[in-house]
Chains A and B, each alone.
Chain A
Amino acid sequence: MSHAPFARRLLTIAASERYGPYIVHRAADPDGPAPAPGQFTMLSAAERWGGGDDGRPFLARAFSVARHLDGEAHYLLEDVGPGTRRLCELEPGEQMWALGPLGRGFHAPHEGRRAVLAGGGIGIAPLVILADTLTRAGTPASAVILGFRDSERARAGRLIDGAHLATDDGSAGHQGPCTELLAAELERDPHAVVYACGPAPMLEAVRSLCAEAQVPAQLALEAGMACGFGACFGCVVPRHGGGYLRVCVDGPVVAASELERVVEPGQAERVAAV
Chain B
Amino acid sequence: MTVSFCGLELAHRVINGSGTFDIHAARRTFGAALDESFPFAAFVSKTITLEPREGNAPPRLWESAQGLINSIGLPNKGLDAYMREEVPLLCRLMARAPSGARVPAPLITNVMGPSARELERLVEACDERTEVAAIELNVSCPNVSSGLDIGADPGELEAVVGATRARTRKPLIVKLTPNCADVAACAAGAQAGGADAVSLINTLRAFALAPAGAAHARGPWLGGRGGGLSGPAVRSVALAQVAAVAERVEIPVVGMGGVQTTEHARDLLDVGATLVAVGTESFRDPAAATAIASAL
Q: Which residues of A contact B (CB under 8 A)?
A: 3-8, 44, 50, 54-60, 97, 99, 102-103, 223-227, 229-238, 242-244, 246, 248-249, 265-266, 268-273
Instruction: Provide the residues of chain B in CB contact with A7, threshold 8 Å.
Output: 285-287, 290
CA distance A244 to B21 in the complex (A): 18
Instruction: Provide the residues of chain B in CB contact with A44, threshold 8 Å.
Output: 284
CA distance A225 to B60 in the complex (A): 9
* B75 and A273 within 8 A (CB): no
Q: Would you give the shortest CB distance from B270 to chain A, in whole angstroms?
A: 25
Question: Given known contacts A102-B29, A249-B28, A273-B57, is B34 in contact with A6 (CB within 8 Å)?
Answer: yes
Q: Would you give the shortest CB distance from A52 to chain B, in whole angstroms?
A: 10
Q: How many residues of B contact A (CB 8 A)?
A: 50
Q: Would you give the shortest CB distance from B257 to chain A, in whole angstroms?
A: 15
Q: Which residues of B contact A (CB under 8 A)?
A: 19-22, 24-26, 28-31, 33-34, 36-37, 54-61, 63-68, 70, 72-73, 75, 210, 220-221, 223-225, 231-233, 280, 282-287, 290
A-B CB proximity, top 3 nearest:
A230-B25, A55-B65, A3-B31
- Residues of A contacting B: mostly: loop
Question: In chain B, what residue has the closest Cβ to A265?
Answer: B59
Question: Given known contacts A227-B283, A231-B25, A266-B59, is B20 in contact with A6 (CB within 8 Å)?
Answer: no
Instruction: Provide the residues of chain A in CB contact with B287, threshold 8 Å.
Output: 6-8
* A232 and B223 within 8 A (CB): no
A-B contact pairs, 20 of them (CB 8 A): A6-B33, A6-B287, A55-B64, A55-B233, A58-B63, A58-B64, A59-B283, A99-B286, A226-B283, A229-B25, A229-B26, A230-B26, A233-B72, A233-B75, A244-B55, A244-B58, A269-B57, A272-B73, A272-B223, A273-B223
Instruction: Provide the residues of chain A in CB contact with B285, threshold 8 Å.
Output: 7-8, 97, 99
* B223 and A234 within 8 A (CB): no
Question: In chain B, what residue has the closest Cβ to A3?
Answer: B31
Question: In chain B, what residue has the closest Cβ to A263?
Answer: B58
CA distance A8 to B225 in the complex (A): 32
Instruction: Provide the residues of chain B in CB contact with A3, threshold 8 Å.
Output: 29-31, 33
CA distance A103 to B66 in the complex (A): 26
Question: Given known contacts A233-B72, A272-B223, is B65 in contact with A226 (CB within 8 Å)?
Answer: no
| Most-contacted residue by chain B among A54, A248, A249, A270 (CB, 10 A) | A270
CA distance A223 to B60 in the complex (A): 10
* B223 and A270 within 8 A (CB): yes
CA distance A265 to B72 in the complex (A): 14
Q: Would you give the shortest CB distance from B280 to chain A, in whole angstroms?
A: 8
Q: Would you give the shortest CB distance from A253 to chain B, in whole angstroms?
A: 14
| Most-contacted residue by chain A among B34, B56, B210, B231 (CB, 10 A) | B56
Given A6-B30, A230-B25, 19 additional A-B pairs, CB 8 A: A5-B30, A6-B33, A60-B284, A99-B286, A103-B29, A226-B70, A226-B280, A231-B20, A232-B283, A233-B19, A234-B60, A236-B60, A244-B75, A249-B29, A266-B59, A266-B210, A268-B223, A269-B57, A270-B57
Q: Would you give the shortest CB distance from B112 to chain A, in whole angstroms?
A: 15
Instruction: Provide the residues of chain B in CB contact with A248, threshold 8 Å.
Output: 25
Question: In chain A, what residue has the closest Cβ to B70?
Answer: A234
* B57 and A272 within 8 A (CB): yes
Question: In chain B, what residue has the closest Cβ to A237?
Answer: B58
From B34, B36, B72, B73, give the contact of A232 (CB < 8 A).
B72
* B21 and A231 within 8 A (CB): yes
Q: Would you give the shortest CB distance from B78 to chain A, in whole angstroms?
A: 13
Instruction: Provide the residues of chain A in CB contact with B280, threshold 8 Å.
Output: 226
* A236 and B26 within 8 A (CB): no
